[in-house]
A and B are shown apart, each in its own frame.
Chain A
Amino acid sequence: MTTTSRWRALTHHQLFWPVAVLVVLLLVNIPFTPDFFSIRMSDGHLYGSLVSIVLFGSPLILVAVGMTLVIATGGIDLSVGAVVAIAGALACSYMSGQADQNALSGVLLAMGLALLAALVCGLWNGFLVARMGIQPIIATLIIMVAGRGVAQLITDGQIITVNSEPYKLIGGGYWLTLPFSIFVVAVVVAVTVALTRRTALGLLVESVGGNAEASRLVGIRSRRIKIMVYVFCALCAGIAGLMISSNTSAADGNNAGLWIELDAILAVVIGGTSLLGGRFSIGGTVVGALVIQTLTTTIYTIGVPTQTNLVFKAVVVIVVCLLQSPKFRAKVFGTKGRGRATGPAETAAVAEAAPKMEVSR
């Protein structure tokens, strides 16, 4: 009885299904790559599949964390991919014009410039959504489409290669034997969690998402909150853009961050945040982003034929989404479980389910 109820409590935890999927995906790799979990030292830093997943997944985690807050207010930000491209393009084109690309001041200035541009994009999105009352999907579509053009304008349609050791650190370098990007992600996630869960900010965001008008009437400045989350999201995307361009030491206005907005939305959804807004889980989003990156790595390691990549991805995503759906679980596992379940567990389930149904009526 106690074990079943514990199991029930565990499976009902919002992070259970995303984490379970992540673990399964990681385990799938073992037959194909026996030392998938091994981490060894190479060139003075840790090296291995798990390190790669975190390293390559960092930009997506950042973008997805920003997206979580936007979605929590009932919005959506399609412009993050373009902001990624703009940030990378600006930073790299500024640096490539410098005489000494290794000068720390130049690198910091380039990154500052890029983040400033991201900030402006965020303000624009926030302005359109909160002040002008434009649907978020349309408001952010503007920068999604035009922003990539801006990035191409900055890079002149070329790939800009930079040769800067300090810049390489943020997305491709190592610090204390770990990828530096892990520390950046850790700081951003920690700050976000602290700000949203240790202060009332998270609650305000959720109330704006739940009912913007009601929140305004009780005295919450919902417009200001909305502008804030779009700016935050764009800043996260800007940092991700720096990481992506730093990772390959090149800015590619055409491809950097292409479709990352969709991956980020998917990560948010896998993490259990409702697209309707009103509640969110930063932890879930981080796990969701790791699931997506692990899936990508898995496709490469287990040798899925190129033509079926996307089908494979789609199948996994469908499975994950179905597992997340309580209705689906109730239909599939519920019936199976009843068949096998012992008497008391069954009555417990019925007893638990009954009052809920009444409430919902």
Chain B
Amino acid sequence: MLNRRNFIAAAVGVAAAGGLAACAKKEDSASNTSGSSGDKAITLGFSQVGAESGWRTANTDSVKEAAKEAGYTLKFSDAQQKQENQISAIRSFIAQNVDVIAFSPVVVTGWDAVLKEAKAKKIPVVLTDRSVETSDESLYVTLVGSDFTDEGRRAAKILEKVLEKAGHKGAVKIAQLEGTTGAAPAIERAKGFKEVMDADHKDDWKIVVSQTGDFTRAGGKQVMAAFLESNPDINVLFAHNDDMAIGAIQSIEAAGKKPGKDILIVSIDGVKDGFVAMSEGKINAIVECNPLLGPQLMEVVKKVHDGESVERWIKTKEGDFMQDQAEAELPNRKY
């Protein structure tokens, strides 16, 4: 999720590679394991976007592990950032008559036809992480994934705590490092943060500068270096992901300031390196965006398979972490 932009870049790259080696289309790996529809174990067909980032790799591992633990037969297929791969994977799941289909859609639109085929065969479809736009809402049962807008709201809420703990008084001058321009997490995290800010802190909080750092360390570092020159009075940094915060920390230190003290830092994601920085006192709080949705997905799959009703959007279980929890949480970080 922290790297949707990479997905686009990778997609462009993959498309170009496809152009060079026109016949390199991947055999979809959904044809392994015994297609045992007579077994009692649930068979789950899962089509992943690809492996574009550490977040995504952790997401894949989580799904695989959880399926193993739950004792389900998992048919896993990697779409390599291509919708046509994903559609053919879903078709092959339908042909094999799996019990439930789950997938993280590569793109938002263009799913109606294949989802109708699934519906005709009465195979329930669960979306993970990302949503789709369809003409017919009944084409998928539920979405298991994060709420980016809420992550923004939680970041603002946790900033209140951080300010209180630091004993901060006076104006709060916030620098915002945005994610890739146009990416859903960037837009929605900014929206959620602003919502809380406008509602509760209209007078005392102000975003003095805001710029995209492209979700990367190098981006965060460069943008922050410029921010510190143009607005030396910044005292809070809100970064849309940990990597940008880590980059910004290096610039803050180069400017002779103390990250976490002179400039309070709140970021989103909760990757391992973010927690390392937090345990060193350089990040004040992290709002988690959890890729480990495997166990939750398996629960939902079971319910859907048993015909129980589920909510339309099942939000990933996510935590908020303050500095004093960093040490304890660090060993639990898998990605």
Chain A contacts for B227, CB-based, 8 A: 300
* Closest beta carbon of chain A to B87's beta carbon, Å: 23
A309 an interface residue at 8 Å Cβ cutoff? yes
B35 an interface residue at 8 Å Cβ cutoff? no
Q: Choose among B13, B51, B52, B214 the residue that contacts A145 (Cβ–Cβ < 8 A).
A: B13
Q: Is the CB of B52 within 8 A of A256?
A: no
Q: Which residue from chain A places its CB closest to the CB of B243 in the assembled complex?
A: A159
Q: Choose among A43, A48, A255, A303 the residue that contacts B229 (Cβ–Cβ < 8 A).
A: A48
- With A157-B51, A157-B54, A258-B9 known as contacts, the answer to whether A248 contacts B273 (CB < 8 A) is no
Q: Which residue from chain B places its CB closest to the CB of A256 in the assembled complex?
A: B218
A172 to B225, CA, bound (A): 13
Q: Which residue from chain A places its CB closest to the CB of B223 in the assembled complex?
A: A300
- With A254-B9, A254-B52, A306-B181 known as contacts, the answer to whether A33 contacts B229 (CB < 8 A) is yes
* Closest beta carbon of chain A to B169's beta carbon, Å: 26
Q: Which of B36-44, B247-255, B292-300, B323-331 contacts A (4 or more CB under 8 A)?
A: B247-255
Chain A contacts for B214, CB-based, 8 A: 255
Q: Choose among B9, B178, B254 the residue that contacts A306 (Cβ–Cβ < 8 A).
A: B178
B256 an interface residue at 8 Å Cβ cutoff? yes
Quick one: which of B209-241 are within 8 Å of A by CB? 209-212, 214, 216-218, 221-223, 225-227, 229-230
Q: Is the CB of B222 within 8 A of A56?
A: yes
Q: Choose among A43, A145, A158, A300 the residue that contacts B20 (Cβ–Cβ < 8 A).
A: A145
A-B interface pairs (CB < 8 A), number: 104
Chain B contacts for A49, CB-based, 8 A: 226, 229
Chain A contacts for B54, CB-based, 8 A: 157-159
Q: Is the CB of A47 within 8 A of B255?
A: yes
Q: Is the CB of B216 within 8 A of A300?
A: no
A324 to B212, CA, bound (A): 30
Q: Is the CB of B16 within 8 A of A141?
A: yes
B134 an interface residue at 8 Å Cβ cutoff? no
B17 an interface residue at 8 Å Cβ cutoff? yes
Q: Is the CB of A172 within 8 A of B218?
A: no
Max chain B C-beta neighbours (<10 A), residue from A35, A146, A244, A254: A254
Chain A contacts for B229, CB-based, 8 A: 33, 35-36, 48-49, 52, 301
Chain B contacts for A299, CB-based, 8 A: 211
For the residues of B in contact with A, the DSSP-based class is helix
A47 to B225, CA, bound (A): 10
A296 an interface residue at 8 Å Cβ cutoff? yes
The proximity string for B residues 272-306 relative to A, scoring 1 for CB distances below 8 Å and 0 otherwise, is: 01000000000000000000000000000000000
A3 an interface residue at 8 Å Cβ cutoff? no
* Closest beta carbon of chain A to B335's beta carbon, Å: 8
Q: Is the CB of B226 within 8 A of A42?
A: no
A195 to B40, CA, bound (A): 75
Quick one: which of A300-319 are within 8 Å of B by CB? 300-303, 306-307, 309
* Closest beta carbon of chain B to A351's beta carbon, Å: 49
A77 an interface residue at 8 Å Cβ cutoff? no
Q: Is the CB of B230 within 8 A of A33?
A: yes
Query: How many interface residues does chain A have, given as a range?
Result: 35 or more
* Closest beta carbon of chain A to B258's beta carbon, Å: 11
B62 an interface residue at 8 Å Cβ cutoff? no
A247 to B216, CA, bound (A): 13
Q: Choose among A142, A146, A255 the residue that contacts B218 (Cβ–Cβ < 8 A).
A: A255
A309 to B56, CA, bound (A): 28
B6 an interface residue at 8 Å Cβ cutoff? yes
B10 an interface residue at 8 Å Cβ cutoff? yes
Chain B contacts for A96, CB-based, 8 A: none
Max chain A C-beta neighbours (<10 A), residue from B13, B51, B52, B246: B13
Chain A contacts for B181, CB-based, 8 A: 306-307, 309
B57 an interface residue at 8 Å Cβ cutoff? yes
Chain B contacts for A146, CB-based, 8 A: 17
B31 an interface residue at 8 Å Cβ cutoff? no
Chain A contacts for B20, CB-based, 8 A: 141-142, 145
* Closest beta carbon of chain A to B225's beta carbon, Å: 5
B3 an interface residue at 8 Å Cβ cutoff? yes
* Closest beta carbon of chain A to B149's beta carbon, Å: 18
Q: Is the CB of A42 within 8 A of B254?
A: yes
A47 to B223, CA, bound (A): 15
* Closest beta carbon of chain B to A92's beta carbon, Å: 12
B53 an interface residue at 8 Å Cβ cutoff? yes
A49 to B51, CA, bound (A): 38
Q: Choose among A36, A47, A161, A303 the residue that contacts B209 (Cβ–Cβ < 8 A).
A: A303
Q: Is the CB of B226 within 8 A of A43?
A: no
Chain B contacts for A43, CB-based, 8 A: 253-254, 256
A302 to B51, CA, bound (A): 37
- With A159-B217, A248-B250 known as contacts, the answer to whether A303 contacts B225 (CB < 8 A) is no
Q: List 21 A-B contacts (CB under 8 A).
A: A33-B229, A43-B253, A43-B254, A47-B255, A48-B229, A49-B229, A52-B226, A56-B225, A146-B17, A149-B17, A157-B53, A157-B57, A158-B54, A159-B54, A248-B217, A254-B6, A254-B9, A255-B214, A296-B222, A300-B227, A303-B211
Extra contacts besides A43-B256, A250-B217, A254-B3 (18): CB < 8 Å:
A32-B230, A42-B255, A48-B229, A149-B13, A156-B57, A159-B54, A244-B218, A247-B218, A250-B246, A254-B10, A254-B52, A255-B214, A299-B211, A300-B230, A301-B226, A301-B229, A303-B230, A309-B181
Q: A residues engaging B (CB < 8 A)?
A: 32-33, 35-36, 42-43, 47-49, 52, 56, 141-142, 145-146, 148-149, 156-159, 161, 172, 244, 247-250, 252, 254-256, 258, 296-297, 299-303, 306-307, 309
Q: Which are the 5 A-B pairs with shortest beta-carbon distances? A: A300-B226, A42-B256, A301-B230, A248-B217, A158-B54
